[in-house]
Amino acid sequence: MLDSLHIKRLAAEAGFDLCGIARCKPFPQNEMHFRRWLGQGYHSSLEYLTRNLDKRFDPARLVEGARTAVVCAVGYKNRASEGYPTSCRTKIASYALTTDYHTTIRRMLRGMLDSLRGRYPGLGGRAFVDTAPLLEKQLAVEAGLGWIGRQSLLVTPALGSFVLLGELLLTDEADSYDSPLEGEGCGSCRRCIDACPNGALVAPRTLDTGRCIACHTIEREPEAKVDLHGWLFGCDECQSCCPYNRRAPRHANREFDPLFDPEAMSPEEWASLDERQFEERFGSTPLTRSGLERIRRNIRLTPDDAAQRRE
């Protein structure tokens, strides 16, 4: 049986700020709501969300015999998380200013898993970092880390929503499991909904990705064009306004120190970069997901351009 306190010590030593432990189980209610969301077409161009639905809502379908989910979170809040001037035309989501979190968190989790296997021979398990159809936000809720806010993101009491998640699915039982939080939540606040520039939050915890700036700047682009409001990669508008995020401390783990300052680069500087320069300066960051040419195109998509495309 897994020692839950030992697991949480390993998580802290690895550099995580939060760690909770939940039982692996199916989530039929989440599946029902997700299928309804898909049926309304709110996934727009994100066709990958329609695949592997049989696995998405049952962790044991991803790791055979999975009994325990270890959910870890690390804060990444930095100066850019607090918002950009309205006139800024080179905005980048604050998580993307650092080394790609997939690389960093995967290394942290694998270190934990290696330690656990050393202590528990025969332990089966797998690490996950936002690349498999795992219901990680709901698992985080089950593990007592926070709740799903109106902007559809996990909100934690201490660190707000500026957290990145990683999970271990393990085949052994733990000696104790955490419970969902009580007495925390968004209350009557709806600042995130009101702050979304394009009205992508069509209802509490309901995102229309076809209107979402992050989708338009990173994912496969939806057919309808939208005003990007100066965002080149991602968008933090629904997070920077959150009261929990405003009082949250900046990141403690130095692995998540920003590597550059978007405000220090003008649109002209971005446009003048060649592929070699882009790779040298930003090759370790998430910006490579969209690439230089798409970032250049996002710079050219001014509010007037977007309005003309919609007409």
Residues catalogued as catalytic: 130
Residues 167, 73 contacting (CB under 8 angstroms) = no
Distances (CA, A) of 202 to 50, 148, 198, 206: 20, 16, 10, 6
C-alpha to C-alpha distance for 270 and 292, rounded to whole angstroms: 8
The C-alpha angle with vertex 142 and arms to 174 and 63, in degrees rounded to 5, equals 60
Amino acid type, 100 = D
